[in-house]
Amino acid sequence: MILYNSLGQTKQEFVPHTPGKVNMYTCGPTVYHYAHIGNLRTYIMEDVLEKYLRFLGYDVNRVMNITDVGHLTSDADTGEDKMLAGAKREHKTVLEIAKFYTDAFFKDCEKLNIKRPDVVEPATNCIDDFINMISVLLDKGYAYIAGGNVYFDTSKLDNYYVFGNMNEEDLAVGVRDSVEEDVNKRNKADFVLWFTKSKFDSQELKWESPWGLGYPGWHIECSCISYKHNGEYLDIHCGGIDNAFPHHTNEIAQSEAFLGHPWCKYWFHVLHLNDARGKMSKSKGDFLTVSLLESKGYNPLVYRMFCLQSHYRKPLTFSYESLDNTAKAYDKLINRISALSKAGEPDLDKAKPLIDSFKEALDNDLNTSLGLTSVYDILKADVDDATKLYAINEIDKVLSLDLTSGKGATVKAETDDEFAAEVEKLIEERTKARAEKDWATADAIRDKLKDMNVVVVDTKDGIEWHVEK
Ligand code: AMP
Ligand code: ZN
């Protein structure tokens, strides 16, 4: 398989350290809020990569951290811990926030058919591992203590800017964003490994360490969690492109200084999902979630297909208009596939070239949009239905669009029997409440129907309803 590697910035043949085995690491979510569909674009494309590697026969060990401490509001190590900001916003503890949004993240993943990684490890589980790695970095002279914090000394490395396309100006932007520059740093690019002193001393979670009561920096968690579960050699590390610098750059600095040898061979970065205002981000206030799409009637898999229709290395702009086009295409596809006869046995020899054309697309830097067209080619192919269904099922192990069991583009549609029965029942109860002049109940039911996007219309023939998208 050929993959674009951010390290070297070229397309390269993917060859893992150990033949047949892939150690994979994914930067997990910072669980202070719901994931927006931009974050989920990254996880969808990583899921396709993981599944495709398995499809090729690799034994994959995929590790993901859950950031529940240390990720500050600016990636340049300044500002407040995002978790604390989330806890304050919702008048809850950091641990309550972490649990709630971790569960919410995996629920979203499930709806998008994103497989749960083999290992999921919250940062707060690994404090001893962080302390150990930081101690080694101090012993080896790669770290220093200043103003109560432990810093990584980037001047000790021959090449800190490994991805080539970053410079100190980029970091300075991060610093400017949060106004204050950390005067303890020896070099502008140095970053915190362990905090004991911060302007934000209301930090809720703190641990004893050789450097005093404090908490880890964000970057150290990924180096440690990867090392803990994937060992000394990592084959592929994934994340959104905004993580390349400084986060991944810092991970490489720490891990290689700690290990004393090159660490990760391939870096897979997914470009951003943008909306009309630019990069979708949680700090911009209203952001799109899977639940919001569902509440508007979309099957979350339509969003998955929307992502697969474009290449992961191109920015993708979201609009409801484009999503509607995908929804129509998804419906058509599901209808065509469900019309295939399930009788008979597939002809595996005839299925092979059909599946091979899909492989050819994904082998070329995970070209999912071309991969999707293979499904249409299969439908047009001169083979029997059983063979078509077999080939589509095989491909769907990677695409994960429920192509052969799909329910279509809309989740809560008038055609959904269970949903319709619930709506009818609510309307009946509302009519009864109104007749009894129980306005409170009638209003509560009206609100519930509104939340379900159901529009109720009184016509001369009685009450009618439909789902508003
Ligand atoms: P976070 O929860 O903020 O730590 O981000 C989780 C993942 O989403 C990271 O891999 C980010 O790089 C990625 N990400 C953040 N914003 C976007 C976006 N607008 N489009 C795609 N990926 C994103
Ligand atoms: Zn990370």
Does residue 463 contact residue 431 with C-beta atoms inside 8 Å?
yes
Instruction: Label residue 285 by pLDDT band (50, 70, 90).
Output: low
Instruction: Name the closest-CA residue to atom 14, ligand 1.
Output: 39
Calculate mean pLDDT across residues 44-54: 98
Calculate mean pLDDT across residues 371-379: 98
- Best residue among 32, 108, 242 to mutate for probing ligand 1, ranked by most atoms within 8 Å of CB: 242
Does residue 148 contact residue 196 with C-beta atoms inside 8 Å?
yes
Cα–Cα distance list, 256 to 24, 121, 268 (Å): 17, 21, 18
Encode pLDDT of 404-450 as tens digits: 987 778 775 555 677 788 888 999 999 999 999 999 899 889 888 88
In whole angstroms, give the CA distance from residue 53 to residue 359: 11
Q: What is the pTM of this model?
A: 0.86
- Best residue among 42, 69, 71, 307 to mutate for probing ligand 1, ranked by most atoms within 8 Å of CB: 42
In whole angstroms, give the CA distance from residue 455 to residue 450: 7
Cα–Cα distance list, 340 to 326, 336, 391, 397, 408 (Å): 22, 7, 12, 19, 15
Q: Flag whether pLDDT at 173 surpasses 50.
A: no
Closest CA to 49 of 114, 110, 107: 114
Percentage, residues of the chain above pLDDT 90: 72
**For the residues of 224-289, what is the DSSP string, one character each?**
HHHHHHH-S-EEEEEEEGGGIIIIIHHHHHHHHHHHSS--EEEEEEEPPEEETTEE--GGGS----
Q: Flag whether pLDDT at 469 surpasses 70.
A: no
Average pLDDT, the chain: 90
In whole angstroms, give the CA distance from residue 298 to residue 343: 31
Whether 239 lines ligand 1, by a CB cut-off of 6 Å, is: yes
The CB density around residue 420, as the number of other CB atoms within 10 Å, is 16
Task: Identify the residue whose tokens are 């911060």.
Answer: 198
Q: How far is the CA of 47 from the centre of ligand 1 (A)?
A: 14
**Amino acid 166: pLDDT:** 55
Phi, psi angles (nearest 5°) of residue 211:
-110, 10
Encode pLDDT of 198-234 as tens digits: 766 667 788 999 999 999 998 999 999 999 999 999 9
The alpha carbons of the chain give a radius of gyration, in whole angstroms, of: 25
Q: How far is the CA of 229 from the centre of ligand 2 (A)?
A: 14
Whether 272 lines ligand 1, by a CB cut-off of 6 Å, is: yes
Paired residues of 447 in beta bridges: none
